[in-house]
A and B are shown apart, each in its own frame.
Chain A
């Protein structure tokens, strides 16, 4: 009987120690900074991979002066109107889809 009581006491004591140890592990350490995913330190990766390879720069077509662009639009409208006049005078699918010589679209 005494042996049984001693074993029970040891078991209860052991259970208490285990619970304390588990609690200590689960509790956050106040000295440890909180984890913020957005401010997590990023590994020091170079800004560019293969920085020694220079990508070819696509040259932008030079902007035509606005007066030239307006003149191109006006010529385009006149050509398209002439094409439309031809179609309306004699409607055929070929005339509807005939190509234009307009510099605006060629």
Chain B
């Protein structure tokens, strides 16, 4: 399995990073983490799917709305590496899913010992976060464009 967070690392470096983590099985329908929880682990998806959601108020109740669905090879929970280390989304497995959970403290200690790995992984994290930002700003602009269009259409009537 090629993980986006580990791009560019040598097999030996990948093995060292993987040794810091623990495999976890997330049963179908279970939460991996919830919005607002302390984020002390970052997760590499090995198998299954993870749905990232945010609550939306619909007809007087809160409903979890899909923001993004992640597949094997992708990374979730990067709030663990970014202050204030709180999850800003909820993550749920729609089917049985396997992840590798990397604790922040172990990663930071490893990064101090291996700055070249820290550099590569930080670079990969920048790509992941940057891509998410680009997607979100595009989606935001499209939704804003629709809202403005609706208002001007209503004003013209």
Q: Interface of A with B (CB < 8 Å)?
A: 66, 69-70, 73-74, 77-78, 80-81, 83-85, 87-88, 96-97, 100, 105
User: Closest residue to A69 on the B side, CB-wise?
Assistant: B58
Point out the residue from A77, A88, A97, A100 that lies within 8 Å of B134, measured CB to CB: A88
Which size bracket describes the interface of B in this complex? Answer: 10 to 19
- What separation, in Å, do the CA atoms of A78 and B135 have in the docked complex? 12
Which of A87, A88, A105 sits near B146, CB closer than 8 Å? Answer: A105
By beta carbon, the residue of chain A nearest B134 is A88
Chain B residues in 8 Å Cβ range of A69: 58
Cross-chain contact B59 with A97 (CB below 8 angstroms)? no
How many A-B residue pairs lie within 8 Å, measured between CB atoms? 44
The 5 A-B residue pairs with the shortest CB-CB distance, nearest first, are A84-B138, A84-B135, A88-B134, A74-B66, A84-B139
Tell which of B68, B141, B143 touches A96, judged by Cβ atoms closer than 8 Å: B141
- With both beta carbons as reference points, the residue of chain B lying nearest to A88 in the complex is identified as B134
Name the CB-closest residue of A to B136. A84
> For residue B59, which residue of chain A has the nearest CB?
A66
B142 at the interface (CB under 8 A from A): yes
Instruction: Check B145 for interface membership: any CB of A closer than 8 A.
Output: yes
Check B65–A73 contact: CB distance below 8 A.
Answer: yes
Q: Is the pair A87, B138 in contact by a Cβ cutoff of 8 Å?
A: yes
Minimum Cβ distance to chain A for residue B128 (Å): 13
- Residue B131 at the chain A interface, CB threshold 8 Å: yes
